[in-house]
Structure 1
Amino acid sequence: MTQQLATTTAEGPTRLPRVALVGVHGFGERHLENLDRLSAAGALELVAVADPNPPAKDTLEPGVDVYASLDELLAAGVAPDVVIISTPIQTHAPLAIAALNAGANVYLEKPPVASMVQYREVMAAAASAGRLVQVGFQSLGSDALPAIEALVGAGAIGEVRGISATGLWLRTKAYFKRSRWAGKRSLNGTDVVDGVATNALAHAVATGLWLAGARTVADVESVDTDLYRANDTQSDDTSVVRVRTTRGTVLTCALTLCAPEQSAPSVTVYGTEGQLTLFYTEDRLEITTPGGVRTETFGRKDLLENLLAARNPKDLLSPLGGVGAYVSVLEAIRTADSPRAIHPDFITWDGDGDAAHPVVHGIESLIRRAALGHATFAELGAPWTAAGGPALEIDGAPVATVQDGTRIRPTSSPRPYLHPVRTLAGTVVTDHIPEDHVWHLGAGVAIQDVDGVNFWGGRTYTRDAGAYVWRKDHGRIVTGSAEHSNGQRREQLGWIGPDGTRLLREQREWRWAAVGNSTWKLTLDFTLESATGHPVFLGSPGSNGRPQGGYGGFFWRLPKVSDATIWTPDARGEDAVHGSVAPWLAWSGTFDAGTSGAAHVTGDPGLGHPATLVFLASPQAPDPWFVRHSGYPGVGLSLAWDAPVPTEPGNPVHRTVTVLITDGFLATQDIEQLITTLGESA
């Protein structure tokens, strides 16, 4: 049982809560300001402070005792009702335990502890003493949180699909020199676990977990970490942390201290019919529903006032027992490998001396992609991350990388694909997990309707709705076996529905070879056969009633291309070639995604790189070309343009597609001559 802090009689209160502050510098100065406010309002009495570096003269009101440590303060018999701990991270746990053992309630700054072991020790001390511990996640006092909970409960955004937290901050060299522990994972063998997710933008993680319904350690099923640093520190400053709760909700936190400029961090709840974005430092909520977009701003409850009024842990807005999920994230970061240094070629330093701060190239887009696609930086293929899967090589140089797709979010229909695909000079000519359609995945095979199962990703177009809708109909394509050799890769794949039913068997073969000094060719050969014992129908939005929407089958997602030209032997331009049947389709332009490796980037002025892709149609069937340019850059061959195509046991659907990948621009005559020279036919 927790005792009431201010005793009362029939005549009114007899004593104000006595508060002591440990740590008066740094964030402790904020606490002093708040204590002055509450003291002036008659809500508490600040009786003592403790800090080896005492506050400046005249900082404190007369009568406030000053001690060098909490031990001295307690030994002097001060007997505070509440102790606020605003000290270096590594000191939180021992100080909290000392204050609890002395009979005080505790306000413990974030992060509350530096390890899971310490968390359990402080929890046990609080239970033994019968005292309360409030953790200083101020955002959890926002009135926006119960408002979001009510909106979600009322179905304002449909069913929740996932949650993301994003933070684009910048910190200078001086930030990491402010104390001995700043930027440290450990100090003299003692855990510190400073970092972007555990300290600077810890509120993003804590708020996201709260909205995901994850409070306790038991609420967390798994934590994936992808940690990097641009600064010369031990700790991470640019990271993705992905949490799966036991409810199945996925929270992805994409955070950096290396942005070109600082912006308000946010947490977004994605629904099937809208989304809610909370800018938690401003208590501002952006509500997007089918009816439009509106913004509301909310108030915030002070956590110290909440602690003073609380009678038991259930009254607390940020109780120690309610941040176990956050400590699970901190523990995953603590036990992860040390953050990988980002190659200097991908960093620009802005400013001079201690005022300088690093900017990671392209970090704004990467943060958005990570959040939208629930992907890590490594899974996005950020050029400063480790390489992906097996490589397709020509003369020892990688020209494409095989991605198994197993880490792709479920609503993007996980599947194997190639990305990045490069020209011989290193220009990247594919994209994946782009901001506009995060379910677009490099070069491969995808179909939106396989007997009602979506193997394309994203929303599904249905004839009944006459529109795209979110449904729980996403399948996945898994690799059963693979044989990889020089110039050839053979894969046995299974197309599996959301209920675990195997709908299709696929045999896929990639072949690749050089064609001169500036061109190479990539051939995809695939067969799709029913695995159910009866016919399986392959469909598309087009076969389900959407005019000109017959995509599905082979698909190639391109990166941004400037001054693009798209043509066939008989037509030119997106509108003219889309839906046409032609032996080949060419796409040329300046690929602004540039090169993908540090070796290529050095000295690269970033002006873009000319390239041409020539897609040769399948010889097995006159499938129409599917082409997009104005909305996003993509090319496909449509298996089911306006009618479903059946595949039966013993009678598979078979297609072969060849792509010629060239540095520089090709004209029609060049293409025809190249095709003739290769002996290719459509």
Structure 2
Amino acid sequence: MTQTSTAIAMEVTPRLPRIALVGVHGFGERHLDNLHRLSASGALELVAVADPLPPADGALGPGVKVYASLDELLAAGTAPDVVIVSTPIQTHAPLALAALQAGANVYLEKPPVASMAQYEEVMAAAASAGRLVQVGFQSLGSEALPAIEALVASGEIGEVRGISATGLWLRTTAYYKRSRWAGKRSLNGTDVVDGVATNALAHAVATGLRLAGARTVADVQSVDTDLYRANETESDDTSVVRVRTTDGTVLTCALTLCAPVQSPPSVTVYGTLGQLTLSYTEDRVEITTPEGVRSETFGRTDLLENLLDAGNEADLLSPLSGAGAYASVLEAIRTAHPPQPIHADWVTWEGEDGDAHPVVHGIESLIRRAALGQATFAELGAPWTMSGGPTLQINGTPVATLQDGSLIRATSSPRPYLHPVRTLAGTVVTDHVPEDHVWHLGAGVALQDVDGINFWGGRTYTREAGGYVWRKDHGHIVTDSAEHGDGRRHEQLSWIGPDGSPVLREQREWRWAAVGNSAWKLTLDFTLESATGRAVPLGSPGSNGRRQGGYGGFFWRLPKVGDATIWTPEARGEDAVHGSVAPWLAWSGTFDAGASGAAHATGDPGLGHPATLVFLASPQAPDPWFVRHSGYPGVGLSLAWDTAVAAEPGRPVHRTVTVIIADGFLATQDIEQLITTLGESA
């Protein structure tokens, strides 16, 4: 008799992923906590750690091997499935290469590498080994990112105008003493590239790049760097990095480790109808639309869990291949000139000993202005930067600086202008790229409607909409030639439309001279000629239906002014003066700026010096005064108050405006006497 044998299937328990951690101190401690959590849930097995300084007793579970280096760990035959690299920046690439060669997938802390050459080497090694590399940009695991992308695609905030990443953090001297590589650009000839954008606030940059659609090296067209440091380090701690993607999106990263208080960093997507702001450390999104403001909070996927679950690179939330754009930013910082020290006059140290930390004066406002204006600190004219063009001088004293405006963002209608303009004692009496209207640029000429083209910046007021709308209608003004002499500068300018064609030709002349010991006068003479061979209408919001909105032509943006008094020979106060026709308009008060713009940079209320500006009306036409004070401080002579004027072939539009810039407070009698002395018509 034959006995039938029965095969009994034995249930085989799948082997848990074997994990090795390299670097158990610093951020490695967070990895240890996460590994303990995942190990307790049965998701993985921590088999070994490597660090020259062993972990504290009791930090590891039973059976976890401890080695002094990754080489020793791998030589012992540990064979991990995943190696987590949480070590100094300069060691990331060589350790990742060793782990890949051993057949492991890699979790690589940020920044993943210290140079573009290293990035390309690790990418090639991963491809050759057929292994996966996840980069530790934890914010890229946020479920807020696909939600934001969906909101943008839905058109809820309109077309994207730009993206900013901002970070206001503080770091103490102890932060820079925690290791030999902290605050270094290189160490013993090896690249480190520590810094605010490459390490401390690297997530802000990486998150901004992701929302800008920039993942690969090919997605980045250009990177501008403006790097500074208040600490006694090699690396930057206060910087602006501006990235232009190949599809034209501009990401401006304005970051500092020298803030007075630490606040959550954020990334904002600006649209034509609203904006989205992601506080990425909180996974919270604030959505602003014409319907109002709402807030949503999202979950986050752990990047190590994501790596363990991934079947291929497409499953990774933060793959090394998606960090190419970030590597381009890091490379631009690595190869840039060393960060410029911020002069001690603009830094206050707070705290003591290891808790001491620098605070850069006015940094909060500068960060906001950089983000809103897509501008660098140098372009904003921060007092601790080196910036500016030719100067206007009175007896050897610079009283105004000419800006060509070429780096102003496109939607602010780039154009030449004067800023800063100063009194003879050094009080700054102009502003540019202010937070409230980043397209306001010092003293110059701007018009919102030149045959349908916006040469003012910002939104355009249209009769059809009955309000302001964002349109792709911005032009720009370029300087074709200039002759600069003593007390006089003559410029030939072209007003260029969005299609690249000239619309107007302008002859502009600046003249300046002293008026006694405490005042000087500045005269702007400009002539606008048609460049099209036909009449070119010159309009304003006022000529397009906005009551009392006739700004355009000559415009002077003032800084904050305390106790301001605004008057003409017949009227006093903003409401009475606005829209009036008068031979002169005076503005006096305590200007929020001292010598070299010190108080303006700090943003401290109530600081500054008394000054008076007297604007003399153009003798060519009775243009009404445009005056703003309650919303923002600005003065202009309206070229088209409620009706457009035309620059016709052979009949250009010509205006002359003179401004007296005086220290101290002037009374009406003083002003009349000054005007008579100058021989000006009153």
- TM-score normalised per structure 1: 0.97
Give yes or no for the alignment of 1:14 onto 2:10.
no
**Is the contact made by 2:593 and 2:601 (CA closer than 8 Å) also made in structure 1?**
no
Residue 11 of structure 1 and its aligned partner are, at CA, apart by 3.9
Aligned letter for 1:245?
A: T
- Partner in structure 2 of residue 378 of structure 1: 378
1:449-469 superposed Cα distances (whole Å, 9 cap, x missing partner): 000000000000000000000
- Partner in structure 2 of residue 153 of structure 1: 153
- Partner in structure 1 of residue 206 of structure 2: 206
**Is the contact made by 1:426 and 1:600 (CA closer than 8 Å) also made in structure 2?**
no
Q: How does 1:490-569 map to 2 (within 5 A)?
A: 490-569=490-569
Once residues 394 and 673 of structure 1 are traced to their aligned partners in structure 2, the CA distance between those partners, rounded to angstroms, is 22
- Partner in structure 2 of residue 144 of structure 1: 144
Aligned letter for 2:651?
A: N
Once residues 511 and 194 of structure 2 are traced to their aligned partners in structure 1, the CA distance between those partners, rounded to angstroms, is 47
**Shift in alpha-carbon separation, 1:94–1:622, aligned structure 2, 3 A:** same
Which secondary structure state, in structure 2, belongs to the residue aligned with residue 398 of structure 1?
A: strand
When structure 1 is superposed on structure 2, of 504-513 and 482-491 the one drifting more is 482-491
**Shift in alpha-carbon separation, 1:316–1:600, aligned structure 2, 3 A:** closer
Once superposed, what is the RMSD of the aligned Cα atoms? 1.5
User: Gapped runs of 5+ residues in structure 1?
Assistant: 1-8
Which secondary structure state, in structure 1, belongs to the residue aligned with residue 47 of structure 2?
A: strand
**Shift in alpha-carbon separation, 1:292–1:171, aligned structure 2, 3 A:** same
**Shift in alpha-carbon separation, 1:93–1:263, aligned structure 2, 3 A:** same
Once residues 385 and 10 of structure 1 are traced to their aligned partners in structure 2, the CA distance between those partners, rounded to angstroms, is 73
Q: How does 1:189-588 map to 2 (within 5 A)?
A: 189-588=189-588
**Is the contact made by 2:172 and 2:357 (CA closer than 8 Å) also made in structure 1?**
yes
Aligned letter for 1:435?
A: E
**Is the contact made by 1:384 and 1:598 (CA closer than 8 Å) also made in structure 2?**
no
Residue 597 of structure 1 and its aligned partner are, at CA, apart by 5.9
1:426-450 superposed Cα distances (whole Å, 9 cap, x missing partner): 0000000000000000000000000
- Partner in structure 2 of residue 57 of structure 1: 57
Residue 172 of structure 1 and its aligned partner are, at CA, apart by 0.4
1:621-653 superposed Cα distances (whole Å, 9 cap, x missing partner): 000000000000000000000000000121110
Residue 522 of structure 1 and its aligned partner are, at CA, apart by 0.4
- Partner in structure 1 of residue 655 of structure 2: 655
- Partner in structure 2 of residue 88 of structure 1: 88
Which secondary structure state, in structure 2, belongs to the residue aligned with residue 24 of structure 1?
A: coil
Residue 209 of structure 1 and its aligned partner are, at CA, apart by 0.2
- Partner in structure 2 of residue 130 of structure 1: 130
Residue 13 of structure 1 and its aligned partner are, at CA, apart by 4.3
Once residues 11 and 475 of structure 1 are traced to their aligned partners in structure 2, the CA distance between those partners, rounded to angstroms, is 73
- Partner in structure 1 of residue 632 of structure 2: 632
Which secondary structure state, in structure 1, belongs to the residue aligned with residue 630 of structure 2?
A: coil
**Is the contact made by 2:361 and 2:601 (CA closer than 8 Å) also made in structure 1?**
no
**Is the contact made by 2:592 and 2:605 (CA closer than 8 Å) also made in structure 1?**
no
Which secondary structure state, in structure 2, belongs to the residue aligned with residue 493 of structure 1?
A: strand
- Partner in structure 2 of residue 98 of structure 1: 98
Once residues 43 and 275 of structure 1 are traced to their aligned partners in structure 2, the CA distance between those partners, rounded to angstroms, is 39
Residue 596 of structure 1 and its aligned partner are, at CA, apart by 1.8
1:548-567 superposed Cα distances (whole Å, 9 cap, x missing partner): 00000000000000000000
1:15-64 superposed Cα distances (whole Å, 9 cap, x missing partner): 00000000000000000000000000000000000000010111100100
Aligned letter for 2:581?
A: V
**Is the contact made by 1:492 and 1:506 (CA closer than 8 Å) also made in structure 2?**
yes
Once residues 292 and 593 of structure 1 are traced to their aligned partners in structure 2, the CA distance between those partners, rounded to angstroms, is 36
Once residues 681 and 233 of structure 1 are traced to their aligned partners in structure 2, the CA distance between those partners, rounded to angstroms, is 58
Residue 595 of structure 1 and its aligned partner are, at CA, apart by 2.7
When structure 1 is superposed on structure 2, of 394-403 and 144-153 the one drifting more is 394-403
Aligned letter for 1:401?
A: T
Residue 342 of structure 1 and its aligned partner are, at CA, apart by 0.3
Q: How does 1:19-98 map to 2 (within 5 A)?
A: 19-98=19-98
When structure 1 is superposed on structure 2, of 484-493 and 615-624 the one drifting more is 484-493
Once residues 599 and 36 of structure 1 are traced to their aligned partners in structure 2, the CA distance between those partners, rounded to angstroms, is 52
Once residues 451 and 287 of structure 1 are traced to their aligned partners in structure 2, the CA distance between those partners, rounded to angstroms, is 35
Once residues 115 and 23 of structure 2 are traced to their aligned partners in structure 1, the CA distance between those partners, rounded to angstroms, is 21
Once residues 463 and 273 of structure 1 are traced to their aligned partners in structure 2, the CA distance between those partners, rounded to angstroms, is 18
**Shift in alpha-carbon separation, 1:315–1:670, aligned structure 2, 3 A:** same
Residue 353 of structure 1 and its aligned partner are, at CA, apart by 1.1
When structure 1 is superposed on structure 2, of 394-403 and 234-243 the one drifting more is 394-403
Residue 601 of structure 1 and its aligned partner are, at CA, apart by 10
Residue 363 of structure 1 and its aligned partner are, at CA, apart by 0.3
Residue 607 of structure 1 and its aligned partner are, at CA, apart by 2.9
Aligned letter for 1:226?
A: D
Aligned letter for 2:267?
A: V
The alignment covers a number of residue pairs equal to: 673
Which secondary structure state, in structure 2, belongs to the residue aligned with residue 323 of structure 1?
A: helix
Residue 599 of structure 1 and its aligned partner are, at CA, apart by 13
**Is the contact made by 1:165 and 1:254 (CA closer than 8 Å) also made in structure 2?**
yes
1:413-434 superposed Cα distances (whole Å, 9 cap, x missing partner): 0000000000000000000000
**Is the contact made by 2:539 and 2:644 (CA closer than 8 Å) also made in structure 1?**
yes
**Is the contact made by 2:170 and 2:258 (CA closer than 8 Å) also made in structure 1?**
yes
Aligned letter for 1:133?
A: V
Once residues 593 and 454 of structure 2 are traced to their aligned partners in structure 1, the CA distance between those partners, rounded to angstroms, is 29
Aligned letter for 1:234?
A: E
**Shift in alpha-carbon separation, 1:88–1:218, aligned structure 2, 3 A:** same
Once residues 27 and 601 of structure 1 are traced to their aligned partners in structure 2, the CA distance between those partners, rounded to angstroms, is 36
**Is the contact made by 1:228 and 1:236 (CA closer than 8 Å) also made in structure 2?**
yes
Identity %: 85
Once residues 13 and 85 of structure 2 are traced to their aligned partners in structure 1, the CA distance between those partners, rounded to angstroms, is 26
**Is the contact made by 1:168 and 1:255 (CA closer than 8 Å) also made in structure 2?**
yes
Once residues 137 and 517 of structure 1 are traced to their aligned partners in structure 2, the CA distance between those partners, rounded to angstroms, is 59
Once residues 395 and 131 of structure 2 are traced to their aligned partners in structure 1, the CA distance between those partners, rounded to angstroms, is 68
**Is the contact made by 1:559 and 1:633 (CA closer than 8 Å) also made in structure 2?**
yes
Once residues 92 and 485 of structure 2 are traced to their aligned partners in structure 1, the CA distance between those partners, rounded to angstroms, is 55
Once residues 326 and 50 of structure 2 are traced to their aligned partners in structure 1, the CA distance between those partners, rounded to angstroms, is 28
**Shift in alpha-carbon separation, 1:593–1:599, aligned structure 2, 3 A:** closer
- Partner in structure 2 of residue 5 of structure 1: none
**Is the contact made by 1:595 and 1:601 (CA closer than 8 Å) also made in structure 2?**
no
Once residues 601 and 139 of structure 1 are traced to their aligned partners in structure 2, the CA distance between those partners, rounded to angstroms, is 33
User: Gapped runs of 5+ residues in structure 2?
Assistant: 1-8
Once residues 442 and 27 of structure 1 are traced to their aligned partners in structure 2, the CA distance between those partners, rounded to angstroms, is 46
**Is the contact made by 1:450 and 1:538 (CA closer than 8 Å) also made in structure 2?**
yes
Once residues 74 and 52 of structure 1 are traced to their aligned partners in structure 2, the CA distance between those partners, rounded to angstroms, is 15
**Shift in alpha-carbon separation, 1:582–1:142, aligned structure 2, 3 A:** same
- Partner in structure 1 of residue 667 of structure 2: 667
Aligned letter for 1:343?
A: H
Once residues 598 and 274 of structure 2 are traced to their aligned partners in structure 1, the CA distance between those partners, rounded to angstroms, is 39
Once residues 181 and 11 of structure 1 are traced to their aligned partners in structure 2, the CA distance between those partners, rounded to angstroms, is 51
Residue 593 of structure 1 and its aligned partner are, at CA, apart by 2.7
Once residues 12 and 532 of structure 1 are traced to their aligned partners in structure 2, the CA distance between those partners, rounded to angstroms, is 83
Which secondary structure state, in structure 2, belongs to the residue aligned with residue 124 of structure 1?
A: helix
1:119-158 superposed Cα distances (whole Å, 9 cap, x missing partner): 0000000000000000000000000000000000000100
1:107-129 superposed Cα distances (whole Å, 9 cap, x missing partner): 00000000000000000000000
Once residues 25 and 203 of structure 1 are traced to their aligned partners in structure 2, the CA distance between those partners, rounded to angstroms, is 20
Which secondary structure state, in structure 2, belongs to the residue aligned with residue 327 of structure 1?
A: helix
Aligned letter for 1:197?
A: A
Residue 405 of structure 1 and its aligned partner are, at CA, apart by 0.3
